[in-house]
Chains A and B, each alone.
Chain A
Amino acid sequence: MSSTFIVLGIVLAYLAIVMFMGIRAGLYGKKDDMNEFVAASGSLNGLTMYFLMGGAIFSAFAFLGGPGWAYSKGAASFYILAYCAAGLIPWMIWGVKAYRLGRRYNYITQAQLVSDRYNSKALSAIMAVVSILAFIQYIALQLKGMAYVLNVTTGGLIPFWLGALIAYTVVLVYVFTSGVRGVAWTNVLQGLLMLIMAWILGLWLPIKFHGGITQMFEKIAASDPAHLIIGEKISWATYSSGLLVSILGFTMWPHLFMKAFASKSEKTLKRTIALYPTFAIFMVPVLFIGFSGIGIVEYGTLESADQILPYMVTQLDLPAVLLGLVAAATLAAAMSSSDTITHGAASVYTVDFHKKIINPNINDKNAVKVTRAAVVVFCTVAYLIAIFGGQSLVALLLGAYGSIVQFLPIIAATFFWPRSTKHGVVAGLATGIVLNYYVTLSGFSFFGLHSGLVGLLGNTIVLIVVSSMTKPESTEHVMKFVEESQVPVDKEA
């Protein structure tokens, strides 16, 4: 019983610190201004940007799904490393161009940029709806992860529903009060905590159970060699197309565009991209955690492979302090993604949906109010889904990805294909989303190719064909986007 209280004490201390930092960060900004709430008036520096981006990828997935994959699927989990490392590479093109146009025309969201180029409110609305659905799925996923960890590490003292409620209340409070500044500062703290814990656990568990990392892999190679190579437990087509879709899709997430618009300068943005592959290095020990469970935890013991880390730390007589830190680090990982996502979802709703469709004349003060209301609504929906709906962590994340990656042809066309038209991109997007859902739901696929990739092919073809058949837009308007996105906007540097 006493160990439960140590765990609880550490977790509560962590939550209190995060909440304090989050609220305090908001006190520096100007109040009730939409640009401040969404983009911190474009003033975030290198350190905070780095952890903002890192926090987005280190989600509950890092401590639950990641080790779970390594434990149950083996080599398929290397996909996580490759994807983390390369995820932000396409951002050298999209992010930098978006930043330049954002500075010139004061965009704060992705759909603003696109709907300006194609003069289409419908496009903005469709993108808003798709992103919000994907966001809610994602938030629900994080909530489930947090609730699960709180439940297990306290030995069942905190029930599932209460755990989700506690963790989310904290996120809600600081996103609600401080906007993007609250998110950025807490992410620095959370980032450090989860990186340190990942390394401690990833190096210590293999040594404790197997005597070392090499010994651990030697044991696996002897007992189940298929676990360490591709093509046995997962097909090449599934592995490669899943990886490709993830890399292409990562930079299409609307909250990343918001972060580009929130950057202080082009240099800050580029530095973030340059440093980003380091996060993939930090993911290496996370996989060691999962591999260390092989042979220690019998297959079939766990309800779901995602439970491997919490199971190991609770069942294998580890010190209570470590247990508490594992719980806090998992919460940190989950919260640093869900705060960014919640903030993103609410901002997208206000800017791309409410302002375009419901009330175009809303003033800035009311817009911030609407955003805050949206934060509460989306959290509540995600909470209910987390409590009542049930799907595996990883499948959910990949499913949401499929639809977001369908924005790629539109973004590419905005910057590189002057001839693309409103009708072309809307028809392409619709095709991509329908195909993605069809493949996901029916389970039918060509050679096991990822549903997002199938959607992407259809999407691109329709975009090209329909654009070629419809009337082009005015040269002057179109060239503004292709031309000016190539010219740096910052005065210095």
Chain B
Amino acid sequence: MKELPKGLYIFSEKLDDKSKSRSIFWFCYFTVCIFATMWPIYLLANRIYPMILGMPFTMFWVALWIVLLFVGTMTKFKQEY
């Protein structure tokens, strides 16, 4: 019987380097997007002014990251198909 791989098994040996590095890039990108609206990064944007598009800055910040997330998900999708 083959040895059971130790630790985490993140990438199959069959995957090429290009798709591996793409996966790592997108993982980092989305991690940043998600944590941007939490402590401590969100501290940077925790103020009312300047108001942008009618929204207080706290709300605009969250809306901005929604857009950045969407740009990310669409780019990733176009890359694959």
Contacts and interface: CB of A to CB of B under 8 A. Distances in A.
Interface of A: 75, 78, 81-82, 84-86, 89, 92, 212-214, 216-218, 221, 225, 228-231, 236-237, 239-240, 243-244, 247, 267, 270-271, 273-278, 280-281, 284, 287, 416-419, 472, 474-476, 478-479, 482-483, 486-487, 493
Given A82-B65, A417-B9, A75 B58 contact: yes
Interface size band for B: 35 or more
B21 interface: no
Contact of B69 (A86, A474, A483): A86
B9 to A, nearest CB: 5
Contacts of A244: 38
A229 B12 contact: no
Given A239-B39, A240-B38, 11 more contacts: A75-B58, A89-B30, A214-B54, A217-B48, A228-B58, A240-B39, A240-B42, A278-B70, A281-B67, A478-B4, A479-B2
Of B9, B46, B49, which is in contact with the most chain A CB atoms at under 10 Å from its CB?
Answer: B9
A416 B8 contact: yes
A216 B55 CA distance: 9
Interface SS of chain B: helix, strand, loop or mixed? loop
A417 B70 contact: no
Contacts of B12: 482-483, 486-487
B54 A229 contact: no
A453 B4 CA distance: 30
23 contacts: A75-B59, A78-B59, A82-B38, A85-B69, A86-B30, A213-B53, A214-B51, A216-B54, A218-B51, A221-B48, A221-B56, A229-B48, A230-B46, A270-B77, A274-B76, A277-B67, A278-B70, A416-B9, A417-B8, A419-B4, A475-B3, A476-B1, A479-B5
B74 A274 contact: yes
Nearest to B13: A483
Contacts of A475: 1-4
Contacts of B48: 217, 221, 225, 228-229
Contacts of A89: 30, 33-34, 69, 73
A228 B56 contact: yes
Of A78, A212, A240, A271, which is in contact with the most chain B CB atoms at under 10 Å from its CB?
Answer: A78
Contacts of B54: 212-214, 216-217
